[in-house]
Structure 1
Amino acid sequence: MEINLVLALFAGLILGLSAFSSLLQQASLPGPVLALAFGVLIGPHALGLLRVEDFGVPTGTLLEQAARITLGVGLAGVAMRLPHGYWRANARWIVVIIGVGMALMLVVATGVLWGLLGVPFLLALLLGAIITPTDPVVTTPVVTGSLAEQRIPERVRHNLSAESGINDGLGYLFVMLPVLLLTKPGEAWQELLTKVLLWEVLGAGLFGAVVGYLLGKLFVVVRSRGFMEESSYLGFLVPFGLFVLGAGKLLGTDAVLAVFVAAAVFGQVIPQWEEEQEDKVDDVVNRFFLLPIFVLIGLVLPWSAWAQLGWGPPVVLLAAVLVRRLVTLWALRPLLKGVHDRPETFFLSWFGPIGVSALFYATLAERHTGHHEVFVYTTMAITASVLVHGLSTAPVSAWLARQEPQRKQYEETAA
């Protein structure tokens, strides 16, 4: 592999997106959409400048680890931008959308896939579990930036960010159920409850909370005593996420969940950052650390396998991605009336994109089960979601902004 070619292509894309970021945002062309298209363009099915095989690492391993590292950095950024006191003030949203919403989204997605895709139930359940979590990486361009601040209420941005962070880590529990049923049917439930739930999931939460608290206290001490010169937490953000990701995996826990919990606790312990500073950090992290994974996805899209499937599966997969979110949010609306009005509920029910987390769980599931069709179907769903949700960001957020008079009336009634 020619490393200079990789540097020129990947860095060139980031330079271009940085130079025209405001224009692209207004045109509803977020980074993930363009990075995915760029990967297809330079890949073997277009210009042929680069192939994923050129990296010298097995494709599944490369994608799984790249997705895991991207999630580690992305989740740290998502959790740290939530304001002080967020979790207590928004407990109802978190309990409802995570405690009930994830299970309902899994049921809806599995039902659509099993009924319309023509695959066995356990495969439909596995695919449904993979696409259930809202992706924090794809969600980030929706809720950050000047356009999002102007058009989307703060509570909507924060609630979508928090949900995408938590359900992304908890998605591991959902994915491992069908994986175990496919690979160890006789021991599946026992292993799910003991090893997966008690150690990997709950252990990850405990580990993340302790590490986040201790590092938060350390950060406060070194800042107050003048031991650290950085005025931004960018110097902490990336190594923080990667440290917890690596340490959590060494302990055998769900390290993705551990990162989010650690960053969430850390963000509540350290002093509240100014919004302008947070935006600058988010902007740097989004472009430099999160976009390359979509270029990789564009390089590996299985076009020949998709062609053999025909037009039916893309429609079914997109329907599963959209319907699982729309049905869930509106079914739970009676429990969330005091949290979001109807326009906000529609916005939240529409923006449930999938992306990096789905890629991570798909490669993990394929490694455990050997079912390559999981990767084929998941990449198709990711591509459809990135395009549909990405291209609709500007018009739907503009529609939400036009509902401001109705929102004010709702708030006055609720008060």
Structure 2
Amino acid sequence: MQQHYLILAGLGFATIIMAWLPAFSEKIRVSSPILLLLIGFGLFMVGLPLGWPDPLWNDLDLMYFSEALVIISLMGAGLKMGENTLKAWRKPLLLVFVTMPICMLSAYLLGQYFLLLSVPSSLLLAAVLAPTDPVLAAEVQLDDPSEENENDEDDVRFTLTAEAGLNDGVAFPFSYLAVLVAQAGSWAAFSFTDWLWDKLILKVVIGVLAGLFIGWIIGMLMDRLYKYAGVKTFVGFLALSLTFMTYGFTELIHGYGFLAVFFAGFSLRYYEKVDRNYKKKLHDFITEMEHLFMVIYILLFGGSIMNGMLNLTDWKGIAFAFVFVLVIRPIAGLIALAGFKESFKSKLAVSFFGIRGIGSIFYLSWAFVTYDYFDYKNELYAITAYIILISIVIHGFTAPSVIGHFRNQKTKSESSEN
């Protein structure tokens, strides 16, 4: 019973700290995930009986937890999308259809010829590193659903928000690709046509359409119920209910739930007859739920690191992690944005902040649950952990200053105009 109280006290302490962390991290120009990671290290060292990963999680438990956290974050990302023009979507689409394939191809080739992994494991490594994380990247995304794309700061944040919302679902077909190749035993036995039409095209289309339709239906219901029956909805937890309903329903009808959740939030955000203040309340509620789940995840992630998770790979895995975060993603991003006539600083910021995190963990655990005979399981977990840790630290120290720089430029521009 004493352990039970210790756990409650420890988690309560961490979540109370989280209430002040965003404001505190903004003052010291360090992102809150870094501070949470340090708290996780501290709680592990004092022996808080949290059931720390030793050093790996159970695959199924990790899949369910990361799944919930990612879809909650994707709903928040969808609700953040402001009144932006179609032109503003060119950049995130290029990041998805140019940058992401370059990153995956690079990861696959390095996995094959540098890390010396098997073909299925190299494919899986490429797939799990494809998505930009909607959870840990929150500090470089839009803060408020009313923000508009009017300057460099908003442009960077909109692009990264839209990219995170899109590519977390688009990466799923390639996780399927790795599993199907592993199950088939070779490229020759693998049915490319079935994967292309079913796992890539059909499930993506169903996911997008289901999300747009569900978001529109919920918006219409809120409007009509108030208009004709006087029933007004103003509860924030509708966002959480919509998240789980959309995800579950879309997966049942053979679509990608990640894409559906993002587009449901996006569709509801753009339904004009729903009050703007209520949209903000939905966004704020789902963001608080995301923060709660993120606290638990990062604490446990810190414990897994202290328990030796990083020791499961060699120097090649560490070198790969640094190269992927600091070289491959930035160069791939700059290639995609090369044709845009804007400041190099803005393009570099978008390219550099391809933050990796919980989405990668979900795809990895999902693949291991779906197919239990992947080679190099420990190495893949360790390499992914290194990439997440590097992303948390390097992006965590740089993101607040970079976003602050663009915000200061905006303030100076507005002052000069007045």
TM-score (norm 2): 0.83
Partner of 1:393: 399
Partner of 1:107: 105
Q: Counterpart of 1:47 in 2: which secondary structure?
A: coil
> Quick check: 1:288 aligned with 2:292?
yes
Q: Counterpart of 1:51 in structure 2: which amino acid? A: G
1:97-129 per-position Cα deviation (integer Å, ceiling 9, x unaligned): 222222122123333444443433442332122
Runs of 4 or more, structure 1, over 6 Å off, are 405-408
For 2:71 and 2:223, the matched residues in 1 are separated by 22
For 2:19 and 2:346, the matched residues in 1 are separated by 30
Please state how far the C-alpha of 1:330 moved relative to its aligned partner.
Answer: 1.5
Equivalence map 1:320-399=2 (5 Å):
320-337=324-341, 340-367=342-369, 368-371=371-374, 372=377, 373-399=379-405
For 2:73 and 2:406, the matched residues in 1 are separated by 26
Q: Counterpart of 1:291 in structure 2: which amino acid? A: V
Q: Counterpart of 1:291 in 2: which secondary structure?
A: helix
Partner of 2:231: 227
Distance 1:175 1:131, change over 3 A: same
Q: Counterpart of 1:361 in 2: which secondary structure?
A: helix
Please state how far the C-alpha of 1:12 moved relative to its aligned partner.
Answer: 1.9
Q: Is the 8 A contact 2:72 2:290 kept in 1?
A: no
Partner of 1:189: 192
1:333-353 per-position Cα deviation (integer Å, ceiling 9, x unaligned): 33333xx42111011111011
Q: Is the 8 A contact 1:68 1:256 kept in 2?
A: no
Distance 1:308 1:375, change over 3 A: closer
For 1:113 and 1:25, the matched residues in 2 are separated by 37
Q: Counterpart of 1:381 in structure 2: which amino acid? A: I
Q: Counterpart of 1:136 in 2: which secondary structure?
A: coil
1:58-105 per-position Cα deviation (integer Å, ceiling 9, x unaligned): 721111111111111111011111113x36242322432222222122
Distance 1:216 1:7, change over 3 A: farther
Q: Is the 8 A contact 1:366 1:375 kept in 2?
A: no
For 2:355 and 2:396, the matched residues in 1 are separated by 9
Partner of 1:12: 13
1:268-304 per-position Cα deviation (integer Å, ceiling 9, x unaligned): 1144635976874465344234332222323334854
Query: How many residue pairs were aligned?
Result: 398
1:18-72 per-position Cα deviation (integer Å, ceiling 9, x unaligned): 13431222223323223333334334x7625222479xxx721111111111111
1:206-234 per-position Cα deviation (integer Å, ceiling 9, x unaligned): 2222212211211222344541252x6x2
For 1:302 and 1:251, the matched residues in 2 are separated by 41
RMSD of the TM alignment (CA)? 3.2
Please state how far the C-alpha of 1:407 moved relative to its aligned partner.
Answer: 9.0
Q: Is the 8 A contact 1:110 1:128 kept in 2?
A: yes
Q: Counterpart of 2:266 in structure 1: which amino acid? A: A
Partner of 2:175: 175
Q: Counterpart of 2:98 in 1: which secondary structure?
A: helix
Equivalence map 1:189-208=2 (5 Å):
189-208=192-211
Partner of 1:156: 156
| Structure 2, unpaired ranges of 5+ | none
Q: Is the 8 A contact 1:201 1:257 kept in 2?
A: yes
Which range moves more in the overlay, 133-142 or 9-18?
A: 9-18
For 1:171 and 1:46, the matched residues in 2 are separated by 39
Equivalence map 1:17-96=2 (5 Å):
17-43=18-44, 47-52=47-52, 59-84=58-83, 86=84, 88-96=86-94
For 1:76 and 1:205, the matched residues in 2 are separated by 13
Please state how far the C-alpha of 1:4 moved relative to its aligned partner.
Answer: 4.3
Partner of 2:140: 142
Partner of 2:258: 256
1:286-327 per-position Cα deviation (integer Å, ceiling 9, x unaligned): 423433222232333485453253444223212113323211
Identity fraction in percent: 21
Distance 1:79 1:229, change over 3 A: closer
Please state how far the C-alpha of 1:249 moved relative to its aligned partner.
Answer: 2.7
For 1:26 and 1:111, the matched residues in 2 are separated by 41
Q: Is the 8 A contact 1:31 1:291 kept in 2?
A: no
Which range moves more in the overlay, 108-117 or 340-349?
A: 108-117
Partner of 1:313: 317
> Quick check: 1:299 aligned with 2:303?
yes
Q: Is the 8 A contact 2:215 2:263 kept in 1?
A: yes
For 2:305 and 2:198, the matched residues in 1 are separated by 34
For 1:313 and 1:288, the matched residues in 2 are separated by 31
1:135-164 per-position Cα deviation (integer Å, ceiling 9, x unaligned): 011111223559xx9x96212211110111
Q: Is the 8 A contact 1:63 1:296 kept in 2?
A: no
Q: Is the 8 A contact 1:134 1:168 kept in 2?
A: yes
